[in-house]
Amino acid sequence: MEKPLKFEAFVPVFLGALCSLILSAILSVKGPGLVGCFADEVLELVEEEIAREKADVFFTELPEEEIDLIHTMYREPDTQEWVIDFFSDVCGSRETAEIILAGASASDIRPALAFALSWEESRFNPKAVNLSNQNGSIDRGLFQLNNRSFPDLDIDAFFDIEINTQNAMSHLRYCLNTGGTEVAALAMYNAGSGRVKTTGAPKSTLDYINRILNNSQKLESRFQVRALEFAERHEAEAALLAEAEESSRSYFIPLSFQAFSGSWLSASGK
């Protein structure tokens, strides 16, 4: 049985999630064309990053962070298990979900972005191997770490879920700090920072970025819906508990009255 929550602590977060859902609903009426528009926006953002780099202002500060509902609920003891359960269903493995959530939290990366990246790279397969790189390098594991980018890792380490995730999240955090945006960071993660800064991101990388950001948005929307249902259920349970406690107080007879009644009954011989 799930533990009742102090729901009032999450009211601001859930109100924010509700606003996001309303916005998502408004955007959804645009239909299939939205994906194409989003791809164009990704292309424009990457081109802007490349232009800024050529003007020696590529390294920008990260924008002010917004509240992340997944992070908030994962870091709260009362809801952490529920978050793990949700992502266990997403990736089909509780161990994988726990490790990715912990890694994303430690590196302060959006969990939805981390899961979308892992899905794109390996379909959540910790034993995945890619031998098709033109330069002859090999990508391995959950986040497809490249052997030339991580020369200090032995083969077993690449296939260790925790080691692979820790290195991937640390590298993605570096890309975020360097590039300044998720678009630039994903371009660097996929194509390498050197290539992105000198020749730009290839079409395959732009498609890669589009898929990951699109999937991360879908994942966050799904999470928000489930989280609101979760909160409403616990709010209802809390209301029932409060009602039950109020009812029990209504029928409670103080001990002093019980003692008086007992004495009166004794004296009356009843």
pLDDT per position as a tens digit, 179-223: 999 999 999 999 887 777 777 788 899 999 999 999 999 999 999
Question: In the chain, what are the domains?
Answer: 36-220 (1.10.530.10)
pLDDT per position as a tens digit, 132-155: 998 999 999 999 999 999 999 999
Q: Does the pLDDT of residue 57 top 70, yes or no?
A: no
* Start-to-end Cα distance in the chain: 46
Strands 145-146 and 129-130, sheet pairing? unpaired
Q: Are 143 and 117 in contact (CB under 8 A)?
A: yes
Q: Does the pLDDT of residue 240 top 60, yes or no?
A: yes
Beta bridge partner(s), residue 129: 140
Q: Name residues whose C-beta falls within 8 Å of residue 225's C-beta, 6 or more positions apart in sequence.
A: 21
Q: Does the pLDDT of residue 270 top 50, yes or no?
A: no
Q: What is the mean pLDDT of residues 31-49?
A: 49
Q: What is the pLDDT of residue 40?
A: 53
Query: Residue 63 carries which DSSP code?
Result: P
Report field, pTM of the whole predicted structure over 0.85:
no
pLDDT per position as a tens digit, 91-117: 999 999 999 999 999 999 999 999 999
Q: What is the pLDDT of residue 7?
A: 44
The CA–CA distances, whole Å, from 16 to 12, 174, 221, 222 equal: 6, 29, 12, 15
Question: What does the H/E/C string look like for 188-209?
Answer: HHHHCHHHHHHCCCCHHHHHHH
Provide, rounded to the nearest whole percent, the portion of the chain with pLDDT above 70. 68
Q: Which residue has the higher pLDDT, 108 or 58?
A: 108
Residue 55 has a CB neighbour count (10 Å cut-off) of 8
Q: Does the pLDDT of residue 37 top 60, yes or no?
A: no
Q: What does the mean pLDDT of the chain come to?
A: 79
pLDDT per position as a tens digit, 60-83: 444 445 789 999 999 999 999 999
Rg (CA), the chain: 26
